[in-house]
Structure 1
Amino acid sequence: MGIKAALSRPLAAYTVHRYQQWQRDPAAAQLRLLRTLARTAARTAFGQAHDLEAVHTPADLAARVPVRDYEGLKPYFDQVKTGAPDVLWPGRPLYLAKTSGTTSGAKYIPITQASISNHINGARDALLHYVAATGRPRFLDGKLIFLSGSPELEQVGGIPTGRLSGIVNHHVPAYLRRNQLPSYATNCIEDWETKLDAIVGETLGQLMTLISGIPPWVQMYFDRLTVHTGRLVGEVFPKFDLFVSGGVSMEPYRARLLESIGRPVDSIELFPASEGFLAFQDQPGNPGLLLRLDSGIFFEFVPAERFFEPNPPRLTIGEVELGKQYALVLTSNAGLWAYSLGDTVRFVSLHPPRVVVTGRIKHFLSAFGEHVIGEEVEAALREAVRQHPETEVTEFTVAPLVSEDRSQPSRHEWLIEFAQPPHNGAAFAAALDTALRQRNTYYDDLRQGNILVPLLLTPLLPGAFQRYMKSVGKLGGQNKVPRLGNDRALAEALGALK
């Protein structure tokens, strides 16, 4: 065992102990944090406009600061972008994390001196929890690859600005820098396919032990390795034994990733965002992600079914319940105040608080009143694959087919790119339909009433999703394919690709 692996064991024990301290009373830890955040930002422009000095409880925060998304806070973010100090948080941000996805284009999320440690330490703490839980630190002695965006930064209002993964790349600890791949030059390549080829060239022949990235883009890397070598990834990298995923749920991709590897490997799932590193899988095999309640973020949880009400309830960590869907609202030392992240979660444990990410509050399918969420379609797909084990899915999305012709009733359309199609497409579609009915009572009611007929399964040509993402400039990096939509824009774009 190398020195890094050996030294990680006492550090892992210390880290787990530190987390256990706040886990004894998460509500108290969050209350202390809220008071610190409000006191620190009281004299900022936002703090004075919202009387943060008077915020001592979650009720005080709710009374003074409404829930707003990026668009709602955009006037403040725009001031931050000019380089103005003391807008949302004292001073000026260290960085702006640039990401896409809002109606007005790119988002610029502040990363402050106080919040940078949240991003840097999240992945570290996840790996140390893994070491503590398994006693297997040897991956630290090999090469580690992080498939990410370019680390090159631009200046916006005098503030270094770029993709979150690129910003974090500048803060990789020195003791890991020598282990890290790809090289800085390769990481700076903007074209994703060119970058993948360069990464394959740099990693072949290396002692790779850990591979990390968003599952569909890691799958592209695995495919390139296999094409280049004619071997499975587990044979190319015999010491590779830990896969770290984030950005989207690994479950829809797990079977194909493991087939590409050719043998079992341990995995850790992370929940990072430009707004903060929110949670990680602290126990291998347990799907729940441990919320980081003592790392600069005060969490509120809005019941998903009430999110769009004028004044929905805002629950604290001490008020949530198991099994219910909540939209995440963040207040943080990055200068986010009652910020709607857009993600929904479901608690699978309260002691300690663990969640699974279930989708996006605006990404659901309810063209007919069924309100189907991402977790339900992913679970339905897993069940259909279980019943048809020859099937391998590369990527998928679901869209409504609204018909005004009574002879052709409305339905859902599942657009699926198969790595291996089912032997019987009709039986697979029926299994999908049944599985979704079992998971969503509204959909089942619509099917029973013949308002909707059985879903339409539309297989796509290999590479369809990659071609689409490339066509919209979102191939690779931290970009994700929407699982659900209430219109047919994505479905029609996919159908138009040849």
Structure 2
Amino acid sequence: MSLKSFAAKIFAKSIRKKIDLWAANPIDTQEKVFQELIATAQDTAFGEDHAFDDIACHDDFVKYVPIRDYEAIRPYVDRVVEGEENVLWPGKPLYFAKTSGTTSGSKYIPLTKESMPTHTTAARNAMLCYIAETGKADFVNGKMIFLQGSPEMTEQNGIKLGRLSGIVAHYVPNYLQKNRMPSWETNCIEDWETKVDAIIAETIDKDMRLISGIPPWVQMYFERLKAKSGKPVGELFKNFNLFIYGGVNYEPYRAKFEDLIGRRVDSIELFPASEGFFAFQDTQTEEGMLLLLDNGIFYEFIKADEFFDEKPKRLTIGLVEKGVNYVMIISTNAGLWGYNVGDTVMFTSTSPYRVVVSGRIKHFISAFGEHVIGKEVEQAMLEASAGTDIRIHEFTVAPQITPSDGLPYHEWFIEFEVAGGDLTAFAKALDASLQAQNSYYKDLITGKVLQPLRISKVAKGGFNDYMKSQGKLGGQNKIPRLANDRKLADQLPLI
């Protein structure tokens, strides 16, 4: 055993004990976070507007602070973007993480000097919990690869702007720098296919032991490695035994991964977002990820089936139940208050509190991290069909993760009333509109992670036949505009 792996095991046990301490006292831990957040932000513009001086408990918070999504809190964010201080949090943020908005382009999520360390510490602790549980620490002696966005940033009014994964790249601890791949220069490559080729050139003959990234991106890396070397990834990297992922569900990719690797490897799931690092898989034996209750985030939960009620009940951690679908609401040390991130979670355990991500409060596609929502595809359909002879009866959209040829893509299943005109031009117009609305989707297209969307024609009556088969024909039932799987899509009759 190397000195490095020996030290990692000792450190891991120490961190695990600290985690277990707060995890065993969830209500007190969250109350402490709540009080610290309110006290720190009392004199900010938001705090003054929402009577933080009068907030002593959660009931007061509910009274004074409504639930908001990004568009609702945007007037405050815009003031910060313009350079104003002490708006949502004392001073100015260190960074803005640029992320995709649901209704009006990009969002600018603040990262403060208090919140930034929580992202890196959580990722580190996920690995340390794995070491503490399994005793496997040899990966610290080999090379590690983190497939992420470019670390290059711009600056606006004294605040640096970039993608979260690229910002985090600046915070890789010194003891991992020698092991970390790819090189800084390669990491700065914007075009994804070019970047993957450069990563392959740098890593193909290295002792890779830990690989981390969003599953579809890592899958492309593995496929090209295997094609170039003629060997399974597990034979190429004989000591590769740990895959760390987040952003999308791994299960649709697992069988393909095991085929590409040639064996099963351990995995750790993370639940990060620009708004905060919420949870990580802390054990290999239990379902779900440990909700991080001491990470500068105060959580509220609303039952998903009550979310659109006029006054849904906002629950704190001590009131949640297993197996219920909740919308997760956060208030953070980055200055987000009563903020709806859009994610829904279910608790798999309440001792300690572990969650699985059950989806989004709205229908969506995020098979590749793009977060495309119903409003965007409907707007694209309206824009693309305007001024044409094309008439649509019904449509839905699903991801095609494993096409028979080329890159993955979004597949639009359309039942036409009239399919006049040039459908190739129509598809291009749909794709252009979607890219204009959703910066994540645009990045995936321009980065050549996805190819432009494809249209499949549904037979006349196909959607009605499907709804009838599900016992949902008529009434208030509607065809989902999109889904993150192909359960509906694969049952539609095509022509």
| Band of TM-score, shorter chain | 0.7 to 0.9
Equivalent residue number for residue 112 of structure 2? 112
Q: 1:419 to 1:235 in 2, by over 3 A?
A: farther
**C-alpha displacement of 1:84:** 1.2
What's the secondary structure of 1:345's corresponding residue? Answer: strand
Aligned partner of residue 329 in structure 1, secondary structure: strand
SS of the residue corresponding to residue 148 of structure 2 reads coil
1:87 aligns with 2:87: yes
Counterpart-to-counterpart distance in 1, 2:404 and 2:2: 41
Residue 473 of structure 1 aligns to which amino acid in structure 2?
Answer: D
Query: Gaps (5+ residues) in structure 1?
Result: 366-373, 379-394, 402-408, 422-464, 492-498
8 Å CA contact 1:213, 1:246 repeated in 2: yes
CA distance in structure 2 between the partners assigned to 1:476 and 1:260 by the alignment = 26
Q: Distance in 1 between matches of 2:174 and 2:446?
A: 27
| 1:220 equivalent in structure 2 | 220
Distance 1:250 1:417 in 2: 12
Q: AA paired with 1:346? A: M
State which of 473, 481, 484 in structure 1 corresponds to 2:443: 473
Q: CA deviation at 1:489?
A: 11
Q: Are the counterparts in 1 of residues 151 and 167 from structure 2 also a CA contact under 8 Å?
A: yes
- Given that 1:122 and 1:277 are in contact with CA atoms closer than 8 Å, whether structure 2 keeps it comes out as yes
Whether 2:350 is the aligned partner of 1:350: answer yes
Summarize the Cα distance change of 1:3–1:420 in structure 2 as closer, same or farther, 3 Å threshold: farther
Gap runs ≥5 in structure 2: 379-392, 406-430, 454-477, 487-495
Could you tell me how far 1:306 is from its partner in structure 2?
1.2
For 2:198, the equivalent position in structure 1 comes to 198
CA RMSD of aligned residues (A): 3.3
Q: Distance in 1 between matches of 2:363 and 2:33?
A: 31
* Local SS of the residue matching 1:359: strand
Q: 2:216 & 2:33 partners in 1: Cα distance?
A: 36
Q: TM-score, normalised by structure 2?
A: 0.77
- Between the aligned partners of 1:37 and 1:189, the Cα distance in structure 2 is 38
CA displacement at 1:471 relative to structure 2: 7.9
Q: Distance in 1 between matches of 2:142 and 2:13?
A: 21
Q: Give the AA of the match of 1:218.
A: V
1:380-404 per-residue CA deviation (whole Å, 9 max, x = no partner) reads xxxxxxxxxxxxxxx9x99999xxx
2: CA distance between counterparts of 1:264 and 1:79? 49
Matched, 1:235 2:235: yes
How far apart are 1:299 and its partner, in Å? 0.4
Q: Is 1:248–1:480's contact at 8 Å kept on the other side of the alignment?
A: no
Q: Distance in 2 between matches of 1:333 and 1:416?
A: 38
Which whole-Å CA distance do the structure 1 matches of 2:6 and 2:147 have between them? 26
| Alpha-carbon distance in structure 2 between the residues aligned to 1:95 and 1:157 | 11
Alignment of 1:342-421 (within 5 A): 342-363=342-363, 416-418=400-402
Output the CA distance in 1 between the equivalents of 2:204 and 2:479: 40
Q: For residues 278-310 of structure 1, what are the alpha-carbon distances to aligned partners after superposition, in whole Å with 9 as ceiling and x for unaligned? A: 000000143310000001000001111111222
- What residue in structure 1 maps to residue 314 of structure 2? 314
CA distance in 2 between counterparts of 1:319 and 1:476 reads 45
Partner of 1:257 in structure 2? 257
- Match of 1:102, SS? coil
Matched residue, 1:61: 61
- For residues 346 and 200 of structure 2, what CA distance do their matches in structure 1 show? 37
Supply the AA of the counterpart residue of 2:246.
Answer: G
Partners of 2:51 and 2:234 lie apart in 1 by: 57
Structure 1 residue 364 displacement after superposition: 5.7
**1:289 correspondence with 2:263:** no
Cα drift, residue 363 of structure 1: 2.0
Is the contact between residue 321 and residue 347 of structure 2 (CA under 8 Å) also seen in structure 1?
yes
Q: Could you list the per-position Cα deviations for residues 181-211 of structure 1 after superposition, in whole angstroms to 9, with x for gaps in the alignment?
A: 0000000000011000000001011110000
CA contact (8 A) 2:398 2:483 kept: no
**Distance 1:420-1:235 versus aligned 2 partners, 3 A rule:** farther
Specify the alignment match of 1:273 in structure 2.
273
Aligned AA for 1:77?
V
Say whether the 8 Å CA contact 2:397–2:481 is kept in structure 1: no
- In the TM superposition, what is the alpha-carbon distance from 1:3 to its structure 2 partner? 2.4
Tell me how far apart the structure 2 counterparts of residues 148 and 411 of structure 1 sit (CA, whole Å): 34
Partners of 1:3 and 1:273 in 2: CA distance: 34
Number of the residue aligned with 1:487? 481
The amino acid of 2:167's aligned partner reads I
Distance 1:489 1:297 in 2: 30
Percentage of pairs with the same residue: 49
Give the deviation of 1:488 after TM superposition: 6.5
Displacement of 1:5: 1.2
Name 2:74's counterpart in structure 1.
Answer: 74
In structure 2, relative to structure 1, the CA distance for the partners of 1:398 and 1:68 (3 Å cut) is closer
- In structure 2, the CA distance between the partners of 1:480 and 1:360, relative to structure 1 (3 Å rule), is farther
- What SS is found at the alignment partner of 2:301? strand
Letter of the aligned partner of 2:481 in structure 1?
D
Aligned to 1:325: 325
User: 1:417 offset after TM fit, Å?
Assistant: 4.5
Q: Take 1:307 and 1:351, find their aligned partners in 2: how far apart are those partners?
A: 25
The match for 2:173 is: 173
Deviations 1:403-447 (A, max 9, x none): xxxxxx9897766454689xxxxxxxxxxxxxxxxxxxxxxxxxx
Conserved 8 A contact 2:88-2:336: yes
Match of 1:33, SS state, is helix
Contact 1:398 1:413 (C-alpha < 8 Å) held by counterparts: no
1:452 is aligned to none
User: 2:97 corresponds to which residue?
Assistant: 97
- Distance (Å, rounded) in 2 between the aligned partners of 1:358 and 1:116: 26
Paired with 1:190 and 1:136, the residues of 2 have a C-alpha distance of 34
Structure with the larger RCO, 1 or 2 (CA within 8 Å, 6+ apart): 2
Q: Deviations over 1:316-345 (max 9, x none)?
A: 100000100001100010101000010000
Is contact 1:149–1:187 with CA below 8 Å preserved after alignment? yes
* Residue 212 of structure 1, CA deviation: 0.2
Q: What amino acid is the match of 2:219? A: Q
Native 8 Å contact 1:398 1:485 kept in 2: no
SS of aligned partner of 2:319: coil
Structure 1, residues 11-30: CA drift from partner, whole Å, max 9, x if none? 11111111111122201110
Judge conservation of contact 2:363–2:481 (CA < 8 Å) in 1: no
Give the Cα separation in 2 of the matches to 1:67 and 1:4: 46
Deviations 1:2-51 (A, max 9, x none): 22211111111111111111122201110111011001100000000001
Report the Cα distance in structure 1 between the residues aligned to 2:322 and 2:35, rounded to whole angstroms.
27
For 1:150 and 1:218, the matched residues in 2 are separated by 16
